[in-house]
Amino acid sequence: MSTTTPLAKAAGGTADFFDTRVGAGKMVKEFARKVFPDHWSFLLGEIALYSFVVLLLTGTFLTMFFVPSMTEVHYPEDALPVAMRGVEMSEAFASTLNMSFHVRGGLLMRQIHHWAALLFMASIVTHMMRVFFTGAFRKPRELNWVVGFTILILGLAAGFTGYSLPDDVLSGNGLRITDGVVKSIPVIGSYMSFMIFGGEFPGTEIIPRLFTAHILLVPALILALIAVHLVLIVVHKHTQYPGPGRSNRNVVGYPLFPVYVAKAGGFFFVVFGVLAIMGATLAINSVWAYGPYDPSPVGAGAQPDWYMLFLEGSLRLMPGQPEFVIAGYTISLNVLIPAVVIPGLLFTALAAYPFLEAWVTGDKREHHVLDRPRNVPTRTGVGVAILTAFIILVLAGSNDILATHFNLSINSITWVFRFLFFAGPVIAFIVTKRLCLALQRRDRELVLHGHETGRVVRFASGEYIEVHQPLTDHERWLLVGHEPVRPLEIGPGENERGVARPAYKKAVRRSKLSNFFFADRVEPVTPSELAASHGHGEHEEIESAESNEGLLTNASTRG
């Protein structure tokens, strides 16, 4: 355009104003030139981000009608639902009912908020699985893994505090269990419980306190950590899947602006849309069905939201016996072990894994190209094992529902899960690792022999062969591009003069772990092997060669 419209002039002026004062131009240019690689699994984190935005928006609406108070009131005789008329309840519960039945759009907002909470946690977990199985947590991204892990824990806290707010029977049951778990901590337990509830459970303080945590503290922390998370992604640049032209030194993808922004913006509306549809058509947490909290009744099917089910399951699996009274003090190992020790172990394993793996491999290089899960069988196996443990606990937390819906005995389900909790992860590890190795062998086959075409040719001599079609360069790159990792070798324990090497024991331990990780492996095809396979014809068996060099060497650092 040759003539400058007043609008464009104003826009230009504003841009200039910011540019000269905070260097906005450079920042925008820097950002807009960022390149993001494309893969559907890179959108999982975005689902989490957008459901969090939806949580903030709907949550703000809820605060305008929710009354965080435990004052006892009688529900009005002329209000809906019928089954609650005149019933004694807390103001928190009454305001939740009122919001659901008498505030326009209130029920919709509550339901979207709750579905978004479930989706938030589901997408975080799926996103974490992607990062884990592709090895995206390796240097330099270990810290961002820890940030993400902390967001997961804060997400649990947000969900737990929110779930407890409406003060219905289920939220009260949840708080009662929390109270029991806190009290099971030796020595300080009962003091802590009194501190949390402001006296004996349930007291009149807990809902206002949870409210502050739920709408202020936890969301603010999550927001801050999301900001750190995103900044670190920009700083590190995005990882990419292996492929031709992709190395640890570059990023292949689309510029942030306009392609990626358009896609991401569109995706926000997809997430919002799915949540809106779920909120409009699927009932969630119909608190009037459970009724106001009252410590005496416990309904069948009283469970926490899915992301807390593993805790419930852990408690349900634990036999009741290990409770001792020592010198007048009760030690409740039957609560402490399932509710604190086991989740503690599982979560610590999850948080620490990147550091453990880095120590085992001794690999100090930066990694920007992702692993295909099959090429790292032990990590993939460990991941599936941890996941299996969680899934078994989730199922154990649903044991009564499984019993009624599949006509099983709840006692036998519980015994099967007790056994599976220990055996399941081991079996899952072994099976997954074997599967990965088998897949790698198939990759080798494919590289060496090409695709089967099903076309059989007969030579003049009478010999039959099946024609194989060699892989394209693109296909081959994917299958041979990774570098083989071998167990660490340690020298003898003593030097030439028979003096013991310092820190030898540590080295032995590390080499044992390294063996556990890498002793079973299938090496990628080397150029010499490939050449041999072409030289000798398709149907000759080729033993894995000793040659170390990869067909396509990857540079280990990027500029």
Partner 1 sequence: MVKALASARRHRFAPVVLMLFALLAVGGIYAVAAPQAAVADSASQDDVTEGEKLFQANCASCHGPSAEGRTDVAPSLIGVGAASVHFQVSTGRMPMAANAPQAPEKGVQFSTEQTAQLAAYVASLAPGPAIPDGEQVDPALGDAANGMLVFRTNCAMCHNAVGAGGALSEGKYAPSLFNSTPTEIYEAMLTGPQSMPVFNDENITPEAKRDVIAYLMEQRADDSSPGGANLGAIGPVSEGMWVWIIGMGALIGASVWIGAKSS
Nearer to partner 1, 305 or 357 (CB): 305
Considering the rule CB under 6 A, would residue 210 count as an interface residue with ligand HEM? no
**The binder of partner 1 chosen from 122, 192, 217, 542 (CB under 8 A):** 122
Tell me the DSSP string of 138-205.
Answer: STT-HHHHHHHHHHHHHHHHHHHHHHHTT-BHHHHHHHHHHHHHHHHSTTTHHHHHHHHHTSSSSTTT
Q: Are 366 and 140 in contact (CB under 8 A)?
A: yes
Q: List binders of ligand HEM among 281-320 (CB under 6 A).
A: 285
Tokens linked to 168: 């219905």
Kind plus residue range of the DSSP H or E element containing 49 = helix 44-63
We find the least distance from the C-beta atom of residue 299 to ligand HEM, in angstroms, to be 16
Binding-site partner at residue 270 among partner 1, ligand HEM, none, CB < 5 to 8 Å by type: partner 1
Nearer to partner 1, 157 or 259 (CB): 259
Q: Are 24 and 17 in contact (CB under 8 A)?
A: no
**The binder of ligand HEM chosen from 44, 67, 215, 276 (CB under 6 A):** 215
Size of the site for partner 1 (CB under 8 A): 76
Q: List binders of partner 1 among 283-312 (CB under 8 A).
A: 283-286, 289-291, 294, 296-307, 309
Q: What is the DSSP letter of 302?
A: -
Residues 215 and 59: their CA atoms lie apart, in Å, by: 8
**The binder of partner 1 chosen from 24, 53, 126, 363 (CB under 8 A):** 126
φ and ψ at residue 481, rounded to 5 degrees = -70, -25
Tokens linked to 551: 């067909």
Three-point CA angle 497, 498, 504, nearest 5°? 120
Tell me the DSSP string of 388-413.
Answer: HHHHHHHHHHTHHHHHHHTT--HHHH
Considering the rule CB under 6 A, would residue 63 count as an interface residue with ligand HEM? yes
Binding-site partner at residue 84 among ligand HEM, partner 1, none, CB < 5 to 8 Å by type: partner 1
Q: Are 115 and 50 in contact (CB under 8 A)?
A: no
Nearer to partner 1, 321 or 409 (CB): 409
**Who contacts 552 (Cβ-Cβ below 8 Å, separation ≥6)?**
477, 480, 481
Q: List binders of partner 1 among 29-48 (CB under 8 A).
A: 38-44, 47
Nearer to partner 1, 83 or 467 (CB): 83
Binding-site partner at residue 294 among ligand HEM, partner 1, none, CB < 5 to 8 Å by type: partner 1
Q: List binders of ligand HEM among 140-169 (CB under 6 A).
A: 155, 158-159, 162-163, 165-166
- Fill in the per-residue mask, 69 to 98: x = in contact with ligand HEM (CB under 6 A), - = not in contact: ---------------------------x--
Q: List binders of ligand HEM among 419-448 (CB under 6 A).
A: none
Buried b (16+ CB within 10 A) or exposed e, 312-342: bbbbbbbeeeeeeeeeeeebbebbbbbbbeb
We find the least distance from the C-beta atom of residue 307 to ligand HEM, in angstroms, to be 9
Tell me the DSSP string of 191-218.
Answer: HHHHHHHTSSSSTTTHHHHHHHIIIIIH
Nearer to partner 1, 305 or 523 (CB): 305
Nearer to ligand HEM, 63 or 472 (CB): 63
Q: List binders of ligand HEM among 217-236 (CB under 6 A).
A: 218-219, 222
Q: Point out which residues bind ligand HEM (CB under 6 A).
A: 55-56, 59-60, 62-63, 66, 96, 99, 110, 113-114, 117, 120, 155, 158-159, 162-163, 165-166, 214-215, 218-219, 222, 285
